[in-house]
Amino acid sequence: MISSTARLPAFATALGRRFRPSSSTTRVLARAMSTAPQPSSSQHVVIDRYTTSPPPTASASASSAARLPNDVHLRNAIYEDEEAREMGGVTATVRHDWTKQEIADIYSLPFHELMYRASTVHRMYWDPSEVQQCTLLSIKTGGCTEDCSYCSQSTRHKTFVKPTPTMKVQEVLEAARKAKEAGSTRFCMGAAWRELGNKKNAFGHILEMVRGVNGMGLEVCCTLGMLNAEQARQLKEAGLSAYNHNLDTSPEHYPNVITTRSYEDRLQTIANVRDAGISVCCGGILGLGEQEADRVGLLHVLATLPEHPESVPINALVAVDGTPLGDADEIDLVDAFDMARMIATARIVMPRTMVRLSAGRLSFSHAEQYLMFQAGANSIFNGDKLLTTDNPEFDEDRAMFDKFGFRGKPAHKGPLVAPAESTGQVHITRVQAPKQEYA
User: Taking each helix axis from N to C terminus, what angle separates 366-374 and 336-349, rounded to the nearest 10 degrees?
Assistant: 20
The reply to whether 188 belongs to the active site is yes
Q: Which of 27, 49, 148, 266 is catalytic?
A: 148
**CA dist 34 to 69, 300, 304, 341, 351, Å?**
26, 14, 14, 19, 12
DSSP per-residue letters across 159-201: -S----PPPPHHHHHHHHHHHHHTT--EEEEEE-SSB-TT-HH
Q: Is the dihedral of CA 15, 18, 21, 22 positive or negative?
A: negative
Q: Which of 49, 281, 282, 361 is catalytic?
A: 281
Q: Which of 17, 117, 134, 221 is catalytic?
A: 221
Check: CB of residue 33 under 8 Å from CB of residue 90.
yes
Residue type, 242: A
The reply to whether 134 belongs to the active site is no
Q: Which of 49, 186, 274, 356 is catalytic?
A: 356
For 222, which DSSP code?
A: E
The reply to whether 233 belongs to the active site is no
Residue type, 84: A
Q: Which of 134, 144, 222, 282 is catalytic?
A: 144
Q: How far apart are CA 380 and CA 358, in angstroms?
A: 6
The reply to whether 211 belongs to the active site is no
Check: CB of residue 54 under 8 Å from CB of residue 439.
no
Q: Is the dihedral of CA 92, 94, 97, 98 positive or negative?
A: positive
Q: Which of 151, 266, 282, 347 is catalytic?
A: 151
* Residues classed as catalytic: 144, 148, 151, 188, 221, 281, 356
